[in-house]
Amino acid sequence: MSTFHAFLLTKEDGGPQQLSWTEVSDDDLMDGDVTVAVSHSTVNFKDGLALTGSSPVVRRWPMIPGIDFAGTVEASTHDGIAVGDPVVLNGWGVGETHLGGYAERARVPGGWLVPKPDAFTPAQAMAIGTAGYTAMLCVLALERHGVGPDAGPILVTGASGGVGGVAISLLSGLGYEVVASTGRLDEADYLRSLGAADVMDRAELSEPGRPLGKERWAGAVDSVGSHTLANVLAGTRYGGTVAACGLAQGMDLPGSVAPFILRGVTLAGVDSVMAPKPVRLEAWDRLARDLDLAKLDALTETRPLADAPELGAEILEGKVRGRVVLTV
């Protein structure tokens, strides 16, 4: 019987969840036709929710957390996936309902994996991770709705976070004028180094606002939700599009229909978890083409997997800047 090490979340009836670094048997891995030796993972906002138990992200016990991993195929009976292939996994309920990436080994259905693009090392693929791949999905949503670089400024909320940092890097690289909204104004130089033309205080967007405001941006990437998203919509120019992917401020959307019915604004929802394979392949292909690796490296910190519990708490407190790669 083969074993490996993993972080394991357990929960006894009604009690609080416990997290331990423990030895797990291969026999405990869940159904899947590909087994991967995990080399890197990462910390996303959702990983923070799972690690701290502050939101019911985990729906199967015990659970190995970690919604992303990169690694090398150890065993496969999946057509088109061979031993030795470098692969990447994002979402699909991994770390929520299927044993996840904070482990030396993972087993998943091969259809969930994407080939690691040659442009990235496994560490860079995890520097991108779900947050960065979601940022790309948001850029694709703006493009799909006709918001190109000439349309006008694009607002990125949650700018110092993971989705925000990759979104700024991508958009500025594509020639968009980016306005970064942040609560960390001391990070203005960092945000400008990623390509933000302007930096604004998120306090301007955090409180209940008017149904319609001055037309300020042609589009937005919003990872914050709540009053922020309502105000972002109210400040979007005629015919603009807001790609909404997150809830860092809250899950509510306390706004009005005014931006939709008076300015033809589009609210484009973005989900990374269950995005179909062709969409993922397109996003990873575009990341390989459009993401400036020097900027990716500048927004990334590398830490050992052992630090995941403390990083999970920090990301929920808004203390993590950019992205964190975990080495397994």
Q: Which residues bind ligand NDP (CB under 6 A)?
A: 44-46, 130-131, 134, 158-164, 182-184, 202, 206, 223-224, 228, 245-249, 270-273, 315, 318, 320
For the bound state, the minimum distance from the C-beta of residue 162 to ligand NDP, rounded and expressed in Å, comes to: 3
For the bound state, the minimum distance from the C-beta of residue 119 to ligand NDP, rounded and expressed in Å, comes to: 21
Say how far apart CA 127 and CA 323 lie, in whole Å: 6
Say how many residues make up the chain: 328
By beta-carbon proximity to ligand NDP, the closer residue of 71 and 164 is: 164
By beta-carbon proximity to ligand NDP, the closer residue of 38 and 270 is: 270
Radius of gyration of the chain measured on its C-alpha atoms: 20
Does residue 194 contact residue 295 with C-beta atoms inside 8 Å? yes
For the bound state, the minimum distance from the C-beta of residue 318 to ligand NDP, rounded and expressed in Å, comes to: 4
For the bound state, the minimum distance from the C-beta of residue 244 to ligand NDP, rounded and expressed in Å, comes to: 8
Q: 220-231 burial, b for 16+ CB within 10 Å, e for fewer?
A: bbbbbbbbbbbb
For the bound state, the minimum distance from the C-beta of residue 123 to ligand NDP, rounded and expressed in Å, comes to: 17
By beta-carbon proximity to ligand NDP, the closer residue of 73 and 247 is: 247
By beta-carbon proximity to ligand NDP, the closer residue of 128 and 247 is: 247
By beta-carbon proximity to ligand NDP, the closer residue of 185 and 306 is: 185
- The strand order across the sheet containing 266-269 reads 196-201, 178-182, 154-156, 217-222, 236-244, 266-269
Say how far apart CA 166 and CA 291 lie, in whole Å: 8
Q: Which residue is nearest to ligand NDP (CB)?
A: 161
Cis bond leading into 62, ω under 30°?
yes
